[in-house]
Every structure is written in C-alpha cells, then in structure tokens.
C-alpha cells in the first residue's frame, strides 16, 4: 500500500526537531528507524502530515556507562544493543527481535516510544526499573518505566515531545534470561518472559524481577511470582511454586495464535524456565 501524502524534515539539532514538531502540530510524528511507523502508514492506520526524522540529530545514539547504569541513546539500533554484551539482558533480548534487516534499522527508542505490548524491549526496561528521559516544549523530565507505558500503543511521550534517553540500571551480579514463544524465530512474541535474579550469600533469592511481554495492553511485572520467590531458596521447588503465579493479575488478549488461557499457561511455563536459567547464572 502507498501511504497518504506527508511532509518530511530531517533537522540537525534537537531544538530544531522540537521546533518542527511544534510547528507541525498534533499530526506531526517523530521518525526513528521507521520499522513500526512506516508499515502503519502504508496500511493507512497512521497518516501523519509531517515526519520529523531524528537521524541527523547528534547525541541520540550510543551507549555509555555512568553511575551504575547504562545511558542508551534512543536512536541506538537493535543490532547495536545486541552487539553490546555489557548490556546483559537487553543485549540477548535485542538478538530475538525480528530479523537482521529490522534490527539494523529499528531503534530501542522507537520500540519504547511506540508502546506495543508485544515488543520485546519494554518489559526489559520495566523489569530492570529503567527510566526514560523525555524532552518537550516544557523542558526535560524523567519517567520511570513503571509509569511510562500507559495503554496499548500509548506511552508517557506526549505530542510535541521526544524521547531523548533511556537509563538502564547495570544490575551487576544479577543472573538473567529471556524466553520468547513464537511460531517462527523472527516473529513477534506470542508471550515472552524475562527474569533478573540476585542471589544472597546463603544462596537464597535476594531479589527477582520478572517482565511479561504480550500479557496485557502494556508490559507487566509478575509481581505475585516475584514476591513468592524473594527470600526463598533458589531451588526447583521454590522456583516452580513462584512461576505458577506468574499470570496473576494479567489480562492477555486472545488472538489468532493463542487464547488468553494458553497465554497464561505460556507465562507460567516460560517463567519457570527463565527463573531456573537466571538463578543458575546469578553470581
Ligand atoms: C517485520 C517486522 C518484524 C518485527 N518484529 C519485532 C519483534 O519481534 N519484536 C519487537 O520488539 N519489534 C519488532 N518489530 C518492530 C521493530 O522493533 C521496530 O524497530 C520498533 O518497534 C520501532 O522502532 P523504530 O526505530 O523503527 O521506530 P519508528 O517506526 O520510526 O517509530 C515508532 C513510533 O515511535 C515514535 N518514536 C520513535 N522514536 C521516538 C523518539 N525518540 N521520541 C518520540 N517518539 C518516537 C514514532 O513517532 C512512532 O510513533 C518488527 C518490525 C518489523 C517491520
């Protein structure tokens, strides 16, 4: 399909990009890698009057470590995240996104700003308790991942604002694992689960975070399962008992691939597997 007509600008500074968004009004949209927005435009599910391409804005891509966290530019591609093993969980998750072509164009910021609950990276930001930096006409603000994802394809990024950075806590010493259930390797997740586990000196679970993908209209934490495991031994029985509660409080949408009940089953099974793997990998 051919998209509706639109204007296009590629400003060379953040201020100019914000100005273009302001002048373009509510029908102006930011363009990052284009791998979610352009397909929607081709299907005429989105018809922005202006695209403000961020590719020439300096300082929006790359990864730096500072103060125990990684500062990730929103224009950092999935393939760059995949190639950076220091990013731990985020790196192994990026490797599961679509195929090499998509990973070379698609960006972590685009994925987070798009707010699709089936995308892989939002649940990672949620489980790691990351923070998003958003800049707009009113200045800059920090939004915790727990407050960022508001509803299906709806995030805390308002019209006229740009996601300018992601802060991902390094979580040194945590074991991590990711399991994504799909029919073909490059497909979106039917359900996916990530886990981060920290072991106490006596081998019990000091901390655990479980992120769920495609189990509701936003990415979710499996908080009941986390609470069931925290402070318990990291043995197969405790892990299995906690994982049984992984679907508590979720409301997964049924679709062509899976009923809500099947998705809840997947969340429990995948949670057990990632918890076992993350516990085994924890320092
Ligand atoms: C065939 C195919 C398969 C895919 N499979 C997967 C998959 O398995 N898992 C997965 O997670 N993703 C998948 N994707 C999506 C892919 O990861 C996209 O790259 C990603 O969702 C969006 O990133 P983008 O850079 O392409 O953003 P764009 O498409 O350019 O933008 C997406 C949205 O975010 C907004 N936006 C982008 N950047 C910013 C910013 N800095 N500030 C404010 N708003 C911004 C745009 O205005 C737009 O609304 C797939 C895509 C395709 C085409």
- With CA atoms as reference, report the closest residue to 78 among 29, 118, 35, 39: 35
Q: Where are the alpha helices (DSSP H) in 115-244?
A: 121-127, 145-148, 223-229, 236-243
Output 253 or 155, whichever has higher pLDDT. 155
Instruction: In whole angstroms, give the CA distance from residue 46 to residue 59.
Output: 28
Average pLDDT over residues 100-125: 97
| Model confidence at 217: pLDDT above 90 | yes
Least-confidence region, from 69-73, 149-153, 186-190:
186-190
Ligand 1 pocket by C-beta < 6 Å: which residues?
Answer: 29-37, 39, 54, 74, 97-98, 102, 106-107, 109-111, 113-114, 119-121, 157, 162-163, 188
Over residues 158-206, the pLDDT tens digits come to: 999 999 999 999 999 999 999 999 988 888 999 999 999 999 999 999 9
Q: Based on C-alpha coordinates, what's the Rg of the chain?
A: 19
Residue whose CA lies nearest to ligand 1 atom number 52: 35
**pTM of the predicted structure, to 2 decimals:** 0.96
* Structure confidence at residue 148 (pLDDT): 98
Q: Rounded to whole angstroms, how far apart are CA atoms 111 and 219?
A: 12
Mean pLDDT for 90-114 is 97
**pLDDT attached to residue 185:** 83
Within 13 Å of residue 190, how many CA atoms lie on the same side as its CB? 20
In the reported structure, the alpha carbon of residue 206 is separated from the centroid of ligand 1 by a whole-number distance in angstroms of 35
Give, using CA atoms, the residue closest to atom 39 of ligand 1.
110
pLDDT of residue 58: 97
Q: Measure 145 CA to ligand 1 centroid, in angstroms.
A: 17
Q: In this structure, what DSSP letter does residue 180 have?
A: E
Decide if pLDDT at 137 tops 80.
yes
Instruction: Give me the pLDDT at residue 170, please.
Output: 97
Do 21 and 28 contact (CB within 8 A), yes or no?
yes
Q: How confident is the model at residue 57 (pLDDT cuts 50, 70, 90)?
A: very high
User: How confident is the model over 226-239, as pLDDT tens digits?
Assistant: 999 999 999 999 99
Which atom from ligand 1 is nearest to the alpha carbon of 99? 3
Q: Which whole number is the average pLDDT over 96-105?
A: 97
Question: Which CA distances in Å does 148 have to 37, 130, 169, 193, 233?
Answer: 19, 10, 16, 19, 33
Give the mutation target among 102, 117, 153, 211 for probing the ligand 1 site: most ligand atoms within 8 A of CB: 102
The residue whose CA has the least distance to atom 28 of ligand 1 is 34
DSSP string, 8-39: EE--SSHHHHHHHHHHHGGGEEEESS-TTHHH
- Confidence bin at 283 (pLDDT 50/70/90): confident
Query: What atom of ligand 1 comes closest to residue 121's alpha carbon?
Result: 11
Please determine, for residue 1, whether its predicted confidence score (pLDDT) is greater than 90.
Answer: no
| Separation of CA 31 and ligand 1 centre (Å) | 9
Mean pLDDT, range 145-162, rounded to an integer: 97
Q: How many CB atoms lie within 10 A of CB 65?
A: 12
Ligand 1 atom nearest 107 alpha carbon: 25
**Counts of helices then strands in the chain (DSSP H, E):** 11, 14
């Amino acid at each position: 399909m051919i998209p509706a007509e639109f204007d296009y600008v590629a400003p060379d500074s953040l201020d100019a990009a914000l100005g273009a968004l302001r002048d373009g009004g509510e029908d102006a949209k930011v363009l990052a890698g284009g791998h979610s927005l352009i397909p929607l435009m081709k299907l005429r599910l989105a018809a922005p009057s202006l695209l403000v391409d961020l590719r020439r804005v300096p300082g929006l891509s790359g990864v730096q470590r500072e103060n125990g966290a990684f500062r990730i530019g929103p224009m950092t591609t999935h393939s760059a995240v995949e190639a950076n093993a220091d990013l731990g969980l985020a790196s192994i998750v990026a490797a599961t996104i679509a195929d090499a072509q998509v990973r070379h164009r698609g960006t972590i910021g685009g994925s987070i700003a798009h707010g699709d609950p089936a995308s892989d990276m939002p649940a990672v930001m949620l489980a790691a308790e990351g923070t998003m930096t958003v800049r707009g006409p009113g200045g800059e603000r920090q939004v915790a991942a727990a407050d960022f994802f508001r509803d299906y394809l709806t995030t805390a990024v308002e019209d006229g604002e740009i996601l300018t950075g992601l802060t991902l806590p390094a979580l040194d010493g945590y074991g991590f694992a990711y399991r994504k259930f799909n029919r073909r390797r490059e497909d979106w997740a039917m359900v996916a689960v990530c886990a981060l586990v920290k072991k106490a000196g006596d081998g019990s679970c000091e901390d655990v975070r479980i992120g769920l993908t495609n189990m509701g209209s936003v990415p979710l934490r499996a908080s009941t399962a986390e609470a069931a495991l925290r402070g318990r031994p990291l043995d197969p029985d405790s892990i299995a008992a906690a994982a049984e509660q992984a679907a508590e409080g979720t409301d997964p949408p049924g679709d062509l691939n899976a009923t809500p009940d099947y998705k809840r089953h997947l969340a429990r099974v995948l949670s057990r597997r990632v918890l076992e793997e993350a516990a085994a990998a924890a320092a």
